[in-house]
Structure 1
Amino acid sequence: MYIWIYLAAAVALGIVVAMQPLINAVLARATGSPITAATISILVAFLGSLVLFGLGDRGDTSRAALASVPWWVYLAGLIGTAFVAGGVVIAPATGALLFFLCVVGGQLLGAALADHFGAFGLEHRPLSLLRLAGLALVLAGVILVRRG
């Protein structure tokens, strides 16, 4: 029963995430700079995360726990920065549907490679012909949307 609540929440998150680069593009037009728009968006996200941090379960934020992870783990935040800044520029040029179809395609390709190589402690799940066919269907979707 509860799984439907999570699935509905995931769909709702997907809808609002689809709006994020478009809203940020409005800010970029107003400020004359996609970098300014991305910076403001990320600043607001940071402030929101601070509120959640203050209200929620913080886990183990000791120096020892934070020092126990490899240094490159902290670069993951740059992925969010690249997505926000890239979305501000790319989504208005491609349209929201094509932009997100390409993003999802890239996510699926990245996930398939992570599975194939067992990256970041994942169980090794080799690329099969069926998995490659699924990725090809996403690419076909990109082509169809671009031509439509």
Structure 2
Amino acid sequence: MIHYAAIMFLAGIGIPLLAALNAALGTRMGSPASAAFILFAVALAATALAMLITGPQALLRAAGAPKHLFLAGLFVAFYVLSVTYIAPHFGVGNAVFFVLIGQLVSAALIDQFGLFGARPSPLTMTRATGIAVMALGVWITQRA
């Protein structure tokens, strides 16, 4: 389990880096949409390589997947486009702050109701307090 935590910690480090780098690229290019397009082109190449290494046969099963699962791509596009546009005007820290608050709320709801096949984890008072403390901590870091 510790390796899962380590990987997700690294992914968390990557979110503000992605925001800062792509926002800077979008500003330099004068087009957040063009910067997002480049990001997705690089991401497509990287994931294609990973898929080839791990075995592309799984891709064939995508046709049988429920169509609503493909909406994840729209959420990624919305995140990248919005953070690329907003971060230069609002600050990377502020942008990521609101992303984190949204993630806390969304994750709690997904876990509470076991949405999309997630393992249900009821939102107890202890969990709700922990989420509130995390949100408060993120807010405090933006006020300092």
TM-score, length basis structure 2: 0.83
Q: Structure 1: which 5+ residue stretches go unaligned?
A: none
Is the 8 Å Cα contact of residues 36 and 84 (structure 2) preserved in structure 1?
A: yes
From the superposition, tell whether residues 59 and 91 of structure 1 become closer, same or farther in structure 2 (CA, over 3 Å).
same
Counterpart residue type for residue 88 of structure 1:
T
Aligned length: 144
Q: Structure 2: which 5+ residue stretches go unaligned?
A: none
Q: Distance in 1 between matches of 2:110 and 2:10?
A: 26
TM-score, length basis structure 1: 0.81
Out of 120, 123, 139, the position equivalent to 2:119 is: 123
Is the 8 Å Cα contact of residues 116 and 126 (structure 1) preserved in structure 2?
A: yes
Query: Over the residues paired in the alignment, what is the CA RMSD in angstroms?
Result: 2.3
Q: Residue 107 of structure 1 corresponds to which residue in structure 2?
A: 103
Matches within 5 A, 1:1-148: 3=2, 7-62=5-60, 65-148=61-144
Q: Distance in 1 between matches of 2:130 and 2:31?
A: 38
Of structures 1 and 2, the larger Rg is shown by 1
Is the 8 Å Cα contact of residues 27 and 88 (structure 2) preserved in structure 1?
A: no
Is the 8 Å Cα contact of residues 19 and 84 (structure 2) preserved in structure 1?
A: yes
| Aligned-pair identity (%) | 33
Is the 8 Å Cα contact of residues 97 and 139 (structure 2) preserved in structure 1?
A: no
Q: Distance in 2 between matches of 1:83 and 1:68?
A: 27
* Range 117-126 or range 31-40, more displaced: 117-126
Q: CA deviation at 1:113?
A: 0.3
